[in-house]
Structure 1
């Protein structure tokens, strides 16, 4: 078997030819048949809903932790692991014998495993965890479930948050940092409207948990769940919903291999109007407990007068027609009913731009409807040019990473970067990352020192098989640090992209989205650039200064305290620290499917994924 040594600043692996794969994305893996059968048969080996192998490993370790002092429980070290000790933390080695069976069968789509990532942790372990918060067996659904006080929630809806951008509440941090944050029970509260029906678009769904998040009086209202499950995982999802007669399903078509339905959106129809919520959380308890997530909450859209044309009620950002176009891309009759609902409402108060991805191969004018070319088009048409903006860097922050290619010129610093740096009537094509690119992704220590400890890495599914093929990428990595939002220890499942000034005190634009750093999510050009191929459904919203009446072409970055001259109307609440801190020589990116046994996490445990 052919073997060669690859080495980089943040990793060293033994790569065998059997590890190679043409797989393009690491956040698209579907549940394995065996794992679904075990849950269908009621075994306690994992969550009772389809999810990723990374999340299943985290669930297993929470239920059966491997204590740091209990070396007898750790698997016998293979030769590669014995080499690790002498490498002083420089990297990992993996031979083909160390792979899990599902990783060796990466080419079979039905064996693919859903991967979603999260990270968020500081240099020193948190000191203020209660015994319950530090327990590896906590029930996340029992935490953070009470909605905000009525007045607080009303202030959130009508107070000084012109961007309508929120973070999720986190259990185990100072309560001052949860001020202005939302739990799903807040969003579904009667204070937000008297619900008639709702639609939930998502990736990983625990139906029973979701139903419990609705107030008692709304739990029998019609609920449509839009998902991308197939075969056994679809059957498992439908089985979860059998006790609930009000729930119906819409299966998103995924005709291109390795695609996922990754969009996270709520459509909430009230007696008083309509609300749209675009966010980053899966519909499972863990995603609303101790993770950093993002939410865009629309205004309450009033119903248009009877007889008004459906084209009325459009915003300056074209949000209404773009949302309808996105829903029509599913080609599903059940969503046509929601299109009709949207047409009946006035969405003119919307100040954000919708940015989606839908699976397909697009040519001509359709090429700019979705993915990174949609971002490029929006920036060229609506972003204001700022003096010396050519030198402004780009920052991407995400919880999962796909295959980027053999080097930066294959995608990251060619077509993707060209979209990120577009501005005004021109798009600057600077190859080899002449514009600085900062990629924020948690280190092993970030995860180890997080509120959840190592199991937080179950939602950061960067795999060894993908990482070892792109060591060049790790030189762009920066740590997760979020003192500004009090969430350094709450690993991020949020995904954000932005264009800050060189001093990181201004940003030209900000995007919160479900899209991780992958070609499957953002699209990749084919046929000499004449065609864009996208595998997955994604959705996000783009904040541009011009849509908020700011003529300077940038937002100011909101600081930690009011004394820093913050103005909530003009300063944007970036949820992590700027400037980002580059990985040090001993920092390693979190990789979920290898052991981490050198140091204990905040619960005193090691990470042994299998």
Structure 2
């Protein structure tokens, strides 16, 4: 995106990063390190039919040609999503859009016939006073909608495509990536695709629920162009969809009301419908619950020197509230440890170490998509010590005898999962989408102080979207990796970008943070990373 069109936050981030790199690498004649392009985004055909998976990895080109067919097994490319000759119109919901990058993947006929593109973001994308975007507006039938954001901390973080084709079909694509070269070419991403939807009735319970939830989410924007999109989708059949939609939209909610809930209320409703909540106070088995995100933000509540984390003190007690009333855990590590002991489970937070970022395909540059400030204040430090550090697991957890194909490709995907008390032999449920570990995304009571443990009333500040996958009745869902190629009756394999169970941090590991200097440590491109003074 041209510099003038970047939001203030994105522009600040760009400046923030430009000051921190110091190259120790040799430059090749083409201006790239040692004459090699570290981020070749030329599409390469890849395919795999061995592992059926409800969600797929996005194609990543940051490997040599010999490695591509292996590491990109079971993936799709951006051209697969928007490059079809019969794509008639597309609705793009996202946070960050590189217009020229996105438009380059459309079929030539799309531009020639001036087919419709509508972008839905949280900040202005087009500018008639700027030559490049003015030219784009003349060449394309392109328009935009700016979502209303009630808080300076709220964002339009949803990443979704809704595509309509000339055969009258529609497809819904929910993903974890921004529409940028870095996201598609340098980071690990995942998507869910509805497949082609046609006009008709929806009688299945899952399909009907998904349709109802999607239309409610679209109407929550209160924008005429998006209301028209919702009305159009009303005529389509969602019969074959077998996942639940988990959505966040800014507003105030009460889990005791019959109205539509967003944020953690959306996840709670889906877990209740699918009988996924756990009690386990009889300690019949030991459960594992996992959060893997690319950002960890401020705690959702504080009390004196104690802090409460969204994952540990809100989502964990919610997910283990079967046969009991859901209560928030009081700030501090003691309440969490007691809750774990009562319900016999282990929480894990998968987040890249400094060493993993440094040795990654993009080196320190991939760190600009991974956010965690644990050193700014005593609240940040206490939060890290109490609710994050004890549960940290590595991104690269792959045993030496296997591979996921994404060990050195840093995550932008967000996954939340629970096992069946079998040390990750099988997966009870899996969420994939845009929700990071933040109260803006999932919701919380207004203010930072911990008032009481009642979670019924809460506020959401951001737009987010994801899907919840559960095994079909009488079947299992199991993790699968790049080296796996077998099949098993009654089993759905979920293609994983990291290994389960994940490996714990060593005593010398620390989580990546863009707010810390790393001295003379060089990344895979020969750069160091240090803060400017």
Short-chain TM bin? 0.7 to 0.9
Partner residue in 2 for 1:182: 76
SS in 1 for 2:104: helix
Q: CA separation of 1:313/1:568 partners in 2, compared to 1, >3 Å: closer, same or farther?
A: closer
Moved more, 212-221 or 515-524: 212-221
* Residue 325 of structure 1 pairs with residue 216 of structure 2: yes
Partner residue in 2 for 1:516: 436
CA RMSD between the two structures: 3.4
Q: CA deviation at 1:551?
A: 2.1
Partner residue in 1 for 2:364: 454
Contact kept, 8 Å, 1:54 with 1:458, in 2: the verdict is no
* Residue 480 of structure 1 pairs with residue 376 of structure 2: no
Q: CA deviation at 1:240?
A: 5.6
Q: CA deviation at 1:286?
A: 0.7
**Aligned residue among 5, 10, 14 for 1:56:** 14
Aligned length in residues: 484
Answer 1 or 2: which has greater helix percent.
Answer: 1
Q: CA deviation at 1:605?
A: 1.0
Cα deviation code 1:406-445 (max 9, x no counterpart): 445465433221233355x667768514031100111100
Q: CA deviation at 1:584?
A: 1.3
Taking the aligned partners of 1:136 and 1:609, their CA distance within structure 2 comes to: 28
SS in 1 for 2:71: helix
**Aligned residue among 461, 474, 480 for 1:551:** 474
**Aligned residue among 141, 150, 163 for 1:268:** 163
Q: CA separation of 1:584/1:284 partners in 2, compared to 1, >3 Å: closer, same or farther?
A: same
Q: CA separation of 1:444/1:465 partners in 2, compared to 1, >3 Å: closer, same or farther?
A: same
* Residue 584 of structure 1 pairs with residue 506 of structure 2: yes
TM-score calculated relative to the size of structure 2 = 0.81
Taking the aligned partners of 2:479 and 2:109, their CA distance within structure 1 comes to: 41
SS in 1 for 2:441: helix
Partner residue in 2 for 1:607: 529
Q: CA deviation at 1:512?
A: 0.3
**Aligned residue among 298, 321, 344 for 2:194:** 298
Partner residue in 2 for 1:541: 467
* Residue 497 of structure 1 pairs with residue 497 of structure 2: no
Partner residue in 2 for 1:120: none
Q: CA deviation at 1:241?
A: 3.4
Q: CA deviation at 1:495?
A: 0.4
Q: CA separation of 1:427/1:560 partners in 2, compared to 1, >3 Å: closer, same or farther?
A: farther
Taking the aligned partners of 2:427 and 2:246, their CA distance within structure 1 comes to: 18
SS in 1 for 2:445: strand
Contact kept, 8 Å, 1:555 with 1:570, in 2: the verdict is yes
**Aligned residue among 304, 315, 321 for 1:416:** 315
Query: What stretches of structure 1 of length at least 5 have no aligned partner?
Result: 1-35, 41-46, 71-130
Taking the aligned partners of 1:349 and 1:237, their CA distance within structure 2 comes to: 46
Taking the aligned partners of 2:25 and 2:224, their CA distance within structure 1 comes to: 57
Q: CA deviation at 1:542?
A: 0.3
Partner residue in 2 for 1:123: none
Contact kept, 8 Å, 2:296 with 2:437, in 1: the verdict is yes
Q: CA deviation at 1:189?
A: 2.7
TM-score calculated relative to the size of structure 1 = 0.72
Q: CA separation of 1:166/1:381 partners in 2, compared to 1, >3 Å: closer, same or farther?
A: same
Q: CA separation of 1:444/1:317 partners in 2, compared to 1, >3 Å: closer, same or farther?
A: farther
Q: CA deviation at 1:254?
A: 0.4
**Aligned residue among 493, 503, 506 for 2:426:** 506
Partner residue in 1 for 2:41: 144
Query: What stretches of structure 2 of length at least 5 have no aligned partner?
Result: 330-334
Taking the aligned partners of 1:375 and 1:167, their CA distance within structure 2 comes to: 25
Moved more, 279-288 or 172-181: 172-181
Partner residue in 2 for 1:465: 376
Q: CA separation of 1:236/1:166 partners in 2, compared to 1, >3 Å: closer, same or farther?
A: farther
Moved more, 166-175 or 202-211: 166-175
1:328-343 aligned within 5 A: 328-343=219-234
Taking the aligned partners of 1:565 and 1:517, their CA distance within structure 2 comes to: 34
Partner residue in 1 for 2:332: none
Cα deviation code 1:489-509 (max 9, x no counterpart): 000000000002342211100
Contact kept, 8 Å, 2:416 with 2:431, in 1: the verdict is yes
Partner residue in 2 for 1:283: 179
Q: CA deviation at 1:572?
A: 1.9
* Residue 398 of structure 1 pairs with residue 293 of structure 2: yes
SS in 2 for 1:432: helix
Cα deviation code 1:375-431 (max 9, x no counterpart): 1221122135788676312100000111114445465433221233355x6677685
Moved more, 274-283 or 383-392: 383-392
Q: CA deviation at 1:164?
A: 4.2
Q: CA deviation at 1:476?
A: 1.6
